[in-house]
A and B are shown apart, each in its own frame.
Chain A
Amino acid sequence: MQNTSPRYSITVLLFIALSAILAAVFAGGLFTGTVKIPVADILRILSGGEASKPEWGIIIRELRLPRVLTALFAGMGLSVSGLLMQTVFRNPLAGPYVLGISAGASLGVAVVVMGFSFAGASALSLPGSWAMVIAAWTGSGLVLLLILLVSFRVRDIMTILILGIMFGSATSALVSVMQYFSTETILKSFMIWTMGSMGGVTSSQLKIMIPAVMAGLALSLASIKLLNAMLLGENYARSLGMNVTLARVMVFFSTSLLAGTITAFCGPIAFVGIAVPHLARMLFRNADHAVLMPATILTGGIVMLGSDIIAQLPGLDSSLPINSVTALLGIPVVIWIVIRNQKLTGIF
């Protein structure tokens, strides 16, 4: 291993640098917002003290800290689920949503929004409510069940990819039909959900979201060996003694747990899941998931927190929809992948 040691130290340095950047953007996220709060006050609030103005304490504890934590975990979770899907499907453009998870979630949300309005309740209070979260979770869970049933019977992984995309499209079509028959207010509350938001998650919801995302991340970290074997394709993985069905179940389950949870709380966040694993690959130049997975986790946190800071651009009364920011940041990366892959036959 003598010639791999400079590579080893580069990897360690990159991890240190990424951790430092992550800490910086996390702090940056706390410091930025539509209300200006002095750094000294923020530090005092975080260490349990009182700020010069009591409302600043509420803003930090009830608004900014939940928002920053949401962004951190959403970024980490979506990026890891993108990495899982890209490896399992051996496709650089796979992301957290290829299995139809966001489509399932949006169907759940659409059903609840319509249901509420038919029952006469106000649909405007819905975004961020528990009803919406549970609906989204149920929707993506049902899609997962369907995918798992298929993956027990279908041997070829590409067939599963195509079926996942088809399930997703069918679900989206159902949602469109429901939208067509709904009123403007309902449509607006649904549209707001699809734009994604880091700020709508309350601290009590975080108590569910963070453990769920952590469980998904733990499951992904436990799949590192399986993912490495799957790099060569499922036939080689089988010949190395890997249980392909077990591996698929593990990976699909953790993807749904991650992407389903985050979509339920924040809405469908675009492009982070596809783009971040490629950023991690570009930085670390390594295909080993023992390196790539933590790299993706750190980069995902940085990208999402960074996008959130950009969405809170100073001078605006309210923040930009987070999906517009992630799309504008993610699309150049995706374009870069596509152009680069014209020349290279490589998958990743």
Chain B
Amino acid sequence: MEDSNQVLQTEDLSIGFKGKKKESSIIFDKISVSAGKAELVALFGPNGIGKSTLLRSLVKLQSPLSGKIFLFNVNLRNYSRTRLARKLGYVSTETVHINNLRVHDLVSLGRYPYTGWMGRLGKDDIDKVNDAINMVSIEHLQGKFIHQLSDGERQRAMIARTLAQDTSIIVLDEPTAFLDLPNKYEVVHLLQKLARKSGKTIIFSTHDLHIAIQEAAKIWLMLEGQIIQGSPEDLILGGSFSKMFENTNLKFNEAMGEFRIRRKPGMTIGLTGGQAECKWTRNALERIGYRVTAQGIHEIMITVENDRGKRVWEVIRRGDKMQFNSIYNLCSFLEGFRDSTG
């Protein structure tokens, strides 16, 4: 297990809560994962499996039931709070609601482990705070109150606070949870840039698999009873994501890198046309319960014509020919048709 390149490592870790009378409830055990320098690690897994508990254990907000956590090959237990605060920053799921707190002051709180007992910022501290603000590009917001920020802006400010803390590792619990789609991408991309440019190890939990696959260097995948780690691509090719929802209605499409609802296969329709047209027509047809294929002859055959942006869907059914100018109309017809035949 000795690997000097690893910044953070766990060894046979069990997490959970210590109960009374030696009875403790284990949430997850046998966790052996690692994260390297300049790596963005995404922690992925179903709700309630223990992602937050794992992250809280990594930042020492909760002690492991058994097993070890190593930070730079030193057991986490041997770090004092102050020393740990200079190595490891944390952003929790809690949204901070404080009126009258300006962004610059929030980021300045990150200097806490370095300032004296009065908390006064020196020149070096102020430089670090300003650097942190620049790194997440919120210079224009630094005089604003945090309750005036949008969710995305506030998340950036919280990230800037951990950057000002000047740690080698940053752990974030669902940093994209409340964000809209562009902000989700931007925040994760920002984390990826920070990891690569400043050599930090950044670990974050998320439910946005798509984004994690694009940006993360490594994924820790928590499945029922085991945790698997590897680059997202290795996990996809190794079939790990398919395992994740084996007993659910979801199916992982390895070619597309996304989940789909598993549907009962219905009547088969033949479909030909341009790539984009076929993809989205297929999407709609599968939604209303058809199986779609490009091969063979079937009772219903659909061809999509694209004449300089003007698309026509031509349906041939037992010699009858019909034309539709939108997928919506096509679907209405097919739904009615299916109803009439029972």
Binding site for B on A (CB under 8 A): 1, 3-4, 7, 222, 224-225, 228-229, 231-233, 235-236, 238-243, 281, 284-288, 290, 344-348
Contacts and interface: CB of A to CB of B under 8 A. Distances in A.
Interface in B86-109: 86, 88-90, 92, 94, 96-102, 104-105, 109
A222 B117 contact: yes
Given A235-B92, A344-B147, A241 B82 contact: yes
B101 to A, nearest CB: 4
Contacts of A287: 98-102, 105
A229 B126 CA distance: 17
Q: Enumerate the 3 nearest inter-chain pairs by beta-carbon distance, A residue then B residue, closest first.
A: A241-B85, A225-B119, A346-B99
B97 A228 contact: no
A240 B118 contact: no
A110 to B, nearest CB: 38
A8 to B, nearest CB: 12
A288 B105 contact: yes
B165 interface: yes
10 contacts: A4-B143, A224-B119, A228-B112, A232-B96, A235-B94, A241-B82, A288-B105, A345-B97, A346-B99, A347-B98
Contacts of A224: 118-119
Given A235-B92, A239-B89, A241-B112, 5 more contacts: A3-B143, A4-B104, A243-B81, A346-B98, A346-B99
Contacts of B142: 3
A233 B126 contact: no
B113 interface: yes
B61 interface: yes
A235 B143 CA distance: 25
Contact of B100 (A233, A239, A286): A286
Nearest to A346: B99
Contacts, number: 94
Contacts of B145: 285
B84 interface: yes
B115 interface: yes
A289 B261 CA distance: 53
B81 A346 contact: no
Contacts of B94: 233, 235-236
B136 interface: no
A279 B83 CA distance: 38
A238 B81 contact: yes
B41 interface: no
A346 B97 contact: yes
A114 B117 CA distance: 46
A236 B99 contact: no
A242 B84 CA distance: 11
A241 B100 contact: no
B145 to A, nearest CB: 8
B19 to A, nearest CB: 14
B59 interface: yes
Given A229-B112, A239-B59, A290 B119 contact: yes
A236 B95 CA distance: 11
A241 B81 contact: yes
Contact of A7 (B83, B130, B143): B143
A159 B130 CA distance: 38
Contact of A231 (B81, B89, B101): B101
Nearest to A345: B97
Nearest to A348: B99
A228 B107 CA distance: 12
Contacts of A240: 85, 109-110, 112-113, 165
Nearest to A289: B119
B59 A231 contact: no
Contact of B113 (A228, A241, A281): A241
Contacts of A225: 112, 115, 117-119
Contacts of A233: 94, 96
Nearest to A341: B99
A232 B99 contact: no
Contacts of A231: 98, 101, 109
A123 B5 CA distance: 77
A9 to B, nearest CB: 14
A277 to B, nearest CB: 11
A242 B115 contact: no
Residue of A241, A243, A281 most packed against chain B (CB within 10 A):
A241
Nearest to B81: A241
Contacts of B119: 224-225, 228, 290
Given A228-B109, A241-B85, A344 B99 contact: yes
Interface in B144-184: 145, 147, 165
A240 B87 CA distance: 10
B100 A236 contact: no
A241 B109 contact: no
Contacts of B147: 344-346
A229 B108 CA distance: 10
Given A4-B143, A7-B143, A229-B109, A239 B98 contact: no
Interface in B288-339: none
